[in-house]
Structure 1
Amino acid sequence: MIKPRRQNESTDGDQERLQRYLARAELGSRRSSEKLILEGRVCVNNQVVTQLGTKVSPGIDKVTCDGKLVTPSDSLVYIMLHKPAGVLTTLSDPRGRPIISDLLPSEGLPRLFPVGRLDYQTEGLVLLTNDGALAYGLMHPSFEIEREYLAKVRGCPTLANLAKLKAGVVSDGEKLWATQANIVTRGASSAWLKLVVHQGRYHEIRRLCDAIGYPVLQLQRVRIGPLVLGKLAKGCWRRLNLGELASIRRVVGLRTA
């Protein structure tokens, strides 16, 4: 069985049946793709799958057949987007709330999937792609991809408080820590912090700050690995340039597409 997804990973609305995915990757018809699955020749996230009802998230799950990576024949696309607060990092929502695909044009792009998620009120850098190998690598904990955030917190943490974040805190039974924790600006009743993490835990920054008694008021992700949000305006997107693409693929051990 495929391992259940964490709360911050893709939902059923972002998924498709494995045999359809294989057919789109030109491995044959759906019927012949079903045969590949039943013969145990297909793996999802390095686990053999033999159940025909299995669903996968294109651009998120790593699918292989006979040990070779399987990617649908759509052209690979890589987009950087500045997500505003009040938008879900998903491709569907039964409650009709704004979703990240609302910020993309309705035509001219293949179906893209966000790599990881930002919570509803968090803004900042989101990478969208249909490159499943890249998405898998960026989310796999073994690569320890850095994520950098700017967090406005209630109150003004001391250097001792920041040292606790770097030493590690326990939240809901999990140890969390920041590899970097610095004060950017300090006000009368709040402060802006720069925090760098690489674990990819659910609501990681908010939980870190709560653990030292300084709740987050505003949160923005400004970097994923070598990708920097820069001056991209809220709600806007652009394709990665060749240098950015080479650098983000390099950190997960992939050649430039």
Structure 2
Amino acid sequence: MRINKYIAEAGVASRRNADQMIKDGRVSVNGKKTTECGMDINVDNDTVYVDGVRITPIRRYTYIMFNKPKGCITTAQDEFGRKTIYDYLDQYAGKGLFPVGRLDYDSEGLLLLTNDGALAQVLTHPSYEIPKTYLVKIEGEISEDDMKKIRNGIKAKDGVRYAPAKLYAKEIKPEYSKLEITITEGKNREVRKIFEAVGKNVVFLCRKKIGDLALGGLTRGTARYLTAKEIAYLKSLGN
């Protein structure tokens, strides 16, 4: 990073004023004064002082909500050439954003992206038990007995046991069933495997909420910045 940018990101001065500070001999790097405005520094290893006071850049975190459509993956690149979420997020490029958890290729709905690793850890680690709510459509009619099994916690065909889930029937017909399920673990393909454990195939899966943060009316395939209130709420989940 250029030293003038480093000083600006520390909130000490604008880049132009930082250049003047450097020319005036007020800046030192690793204990040595510098007058080179275009000097590159290693942000991890070099120490920068202005007027004898060490400075560090203020980390500017970004938080966005994305309504992921089905038919794209959550990684940056795909060996099979499939579309990724980043194909929809050009306006947020260069911010180092990564997805908080995943939604698989055939799933859609609420996906958070950030460059705040600490918050991402809170939202994804099972120990925090952050509830995530999904709308699900399965083939065929689900029985009350199968719903009870899911509510009580169920063991999948691969031997993995899933914690009890909240499950509500929204529409049940012989051809299909629509349900709302809330889980707190977030294991890989958890919702699909839960229903597979009772012999049901998921044909539609949409995440609607993370905690109380809801997707709302955000158009599929678009994103927006989180509000200060929403960010504060998500951070409170780790307390």
Superposition TM-score, scaled by structure 1 size: 0.69
The alpha-carbon deviation at position 188 of structure 1 amounts to 3.7
Asked if 1:28 corresponds to 2:42, the answer is no
SS in 2 for 1:196: strand
Residue 136 of structure 2 corresponds to 151
Aligned counterparts of 2:60 and 2:155: Cα–Cα separation in 1: 43
**69, 75, 83: which one aligns with 1:90:** 75
Distance in 2, Cα, partners of 1:27 & 1:109: 19
| Inter-partner Cα distance in structure 1 for 2:93 and 2:58 | 16
The superposition leaves residues 33-74 of structure 1 with CA deviations (integer Å, 9 ceiling, x where unpaired) of xxxxxxxxxxxxxxxxxxxxxxxxxxxxxxxxxxxxxx9855
**1:27, CA displacement in angstroms?**
3.2
* Contact 1:177 1:208 (8 Å CA) reproduced: no
Percent sequence identity over aligned pairs: 37
Correspondence for 1:99: 84
The alpha carbon displacement at 1:92 in A equals: 1.6
User: Per the alignment, do residues 107 and 115 of structure 1 end up closer, same or farther by CA in structure 2, a change over 3 Å counting?
Assistant: closer
Cα–Cα, structure 1 residues 73 and 113, in superposed 2: closer, same or farther, change >3 Å? farther
Query: Residue 163 and residue 105 in structure 1: after superposition, are their counterparts in 2 closer, same or farther (change >3 A)?
Result: same
Secondary structure at the counterpart of residue 60 of structure 2: coil
Q: Secondary structure at the match of 1:193?
A: strand
Which consecutive unaligned segments of at least 5 residues does structure 1 have?
1-22, 33-70
Contact 1:226 1:244 in 2 (8 A): no
- Give the RMSD, CA atoms, in angstroms: 2.1
Return the alpha-carbon distance in structure 1 between the equivalents of residues 163 and 147 of structure 2: 10
Distance in 2 between the 1:82 and 1:179 partners?
23
Q: Match of 1:204?
A: 190
- Partner amino acid for 1:217? V
Give, as a single letter, the amino acid of the residue that structure 2 aligns with 1:142: S
Q: Distance in 2 between matches of 1:249 and 1:225?
A: 11
The answer to whether the 8 A contact 2:154-2:164 is kept is no
Give distance in 1, aligned partners of 2:102 and 2:57: 23
SS in 2 for 1:150: strand
How much has 1:75 moved relative to structure 2?
1.6
- Find the partner of 2:220 among 222, 228, 234: 234
The 4+ residue runs of structure 1 with deviation greater than 4 A are 71-74, 106-109
Q: Contact (CA 8 Å) 2:142, 2:172: kept in 1 or not?
A: no
1:100-123 Cα distance to aligned partner (Å, 9 max, x none): 111112566512000110111000
> CA distance change for structure 1 residues 72 and 104 in 2, over 3 Å: closer, same or farther?
farther
Number of aligned pairs?
190
Q: 1:190 aligns with which of 172, 176, 180?
A: 176
* Unaligned 5+ runs, structure 2: 1-40, 48-55
What's the CA shift for 1:168?
1.6
